[in-house]
Amino acid sequence: MSAPTVFDHPAARALSRRHRLRWWEPLPWILALAFYFMFPRYLGFGTELLIMVLFAISLDLALGYAGIVTLGHAAFFGAGAYTVGMLAHHGIWNEPISSLFIGAAVAAAIGLASGLVLLRTTGLTLLMLTLCTMALLEEAANLGHDWTGGFDGLTGISIPPLFGLFEFNPLFPKTQYLYVLGALLICFVFVRTLVYSPFGHSLTGIRENTLRMHAVGAPVRTRLVVCYTISAALAGIAGGIWAQANAYVNLSTLGLDRAATVLIILVLGGYGRLYGAFVGAVAYMALSHFLAKVYPTAWQLGLGFLLVTIALFARGGIIGLGETLMARLRPKLKPKPPS
């Protein structure tokens, strides 16, 4: 019998247990729930935060895992937001959960169509093309005044109560907060499952060495397009929730500002790490809040310095820094190879 000896090996054990839940993984969710009870007056802020976390997770799948360099991810956020917003505003459909599915489908369709073209390219070309896709959508939303409200956007989107029971109230966003938290949990479990699957492993392979993935016979472009489409759908859900929670949609959902912000959040927290989105969003929101108080005119300067520092000295972001520190503090835990 050789099988048991194989799985006694630390490498095999590590790989076969990689997907198991670690003790600290429920923490973010406990904190998010605690926030709900402890800061009822800040639930608007909390809702915005959780939406950004979801958006950042969608970006992490494409950028952090598959290595798709994009600067236009807000295209899908906006697509979801406008889909949900327009359907409700024009009285076509406004049931919240099914609206999100429609928003996700539209964003996915745009992701698929653009991905089929864009993902033939890499690096700077890819970066510029993702930016262009977003700019085109933004301009379309700007020009399609009758449908999208143009520059003013759409206001007064009325969303019926969730499950016919819980009222969406922009002034007292209890429902929104728990609604986003639920959606985030579902999407997160989905992404977590995906990145620990063989498919997710192969995405990591594409990020680490595209040429080699071709050489082991992987259909690299198909995998990238699938990943990009899923990522777009998740971003669409984040956008859809944003529209529902705020009861309006405007061009800011499609803008470079939002695309850059989500990228900063991910870099700050640490990309390709699942929880980087959480840490990054909290750090970014808290930091910009604090800096804006201290330096109302130049708060972005502080953020800029921090980003430069992270990019130069801590490529893994805050989580990466933590990992490095843990590795230093801990005595060398070298797994012993079986002799």
Partner 1 sequence: MTAALLETRSVSKSFGALRAARDVSFKLEEGARHALIGPNGAGKTTFINLLTGVLPPSSGEVLLKGEDITTMEQAARVKRGIARTFQINRLFRGLSVLENVYMSVAERVGAAPQMITPAGKRKDVIDESMHLLETLKLADHAHLTITGLPYGRQRLVELAIALGLKPVVLLLDEPAAGVPSAETHIILDAIDALPKSIGVLIIDHDMDLVFRFAKKITVLVRGAVFAEGTPKEIGANADVRAVYLGQATHG
Q: How far is CA 160 from CA 97, 167, 224, in A?
A: 11, 7, 37
Cβ 4 to partner 1, closest distance in Å?
11
Phi, psi of 200 (to 5 degrees): -60, -40
Number of residues in contact with partner 1 under rule CB under 8 A: 40
Question: 274: closest CA among 330, 190, 205?
Answer: 190
Task: Say if CB 265 and CB 107 are below 8 A apart.
Answer: no
Please give the Cα distance from 67 to 135 (Å, whole number).
22
120: contact with partner 1 by CB under 8 A: no
Tokens of 329: 């503090």
330: contact with partner 1 by CB under 8 A: no
Pick the closer one to partner 1 by CB: 205 or 280. 205
Pick the closer one to partner 1 by CB: 26 or 219. 219
Region 206-245 residues binding partner 1, contact defined as CB under 8 A: 208-209, 211-220
Region 170-209 residues binding partner 1, contact defined as CB under 8 A: 193-194, 196-202, 204-205, 208-209
Cβ 323 to partner 1, closest distance in Å?
13
The conformational region for residue 273 under phi > 0 = left, psi -120 to 50 = alpha, else beta, is: alpha
Question: 53: closest CA among 32, 70, 35?
Answer: 32
3-state secondary structure of 249: strand
306: contact with partner 1 by CB under 8 A: no
Pick the closer one to partner 1 by CB: 120 or 201. 201
Cβ 205 to partner 1, closest distance in Å?
5
| DSSP per residue, 136-178 | HHHHHHHH-HHHH-GGG-B-----PPBTTTB---TTS-HHHHH
Region 14-43 residues binding partner 1, contact defined as CB under 8 A: 14-19
Question: 249: closest CA among 88, 44, 96?
Answer: 88
Task: Say if CB 125 and CB 70 are below 8 A apart.
Answer: no
Task: Say if CB 241 and CB 179 are below 8 A apart.
Answer: yes
Pick the closer one to partner 1 by CB: 204 or 252. 204
122: contact with partner 1 by CB under 8 A: no
Pick the closer one to partner 1 by CB: 18 or 41. 18
Pick the closer one to partner 1 by CB: 123 or 198. 198
Pick the closer one to partner 1 by CB: 175 or 202. 202
324: contact with partner 1 by CB under 8 A: no
Residue ranges that bind partner 1, judged by CB under 8 A = 2-3, 6-7, 9-12, 14-19, 193-194, 196-202, 204-205, 208-209, 211-220, 335, 337-338
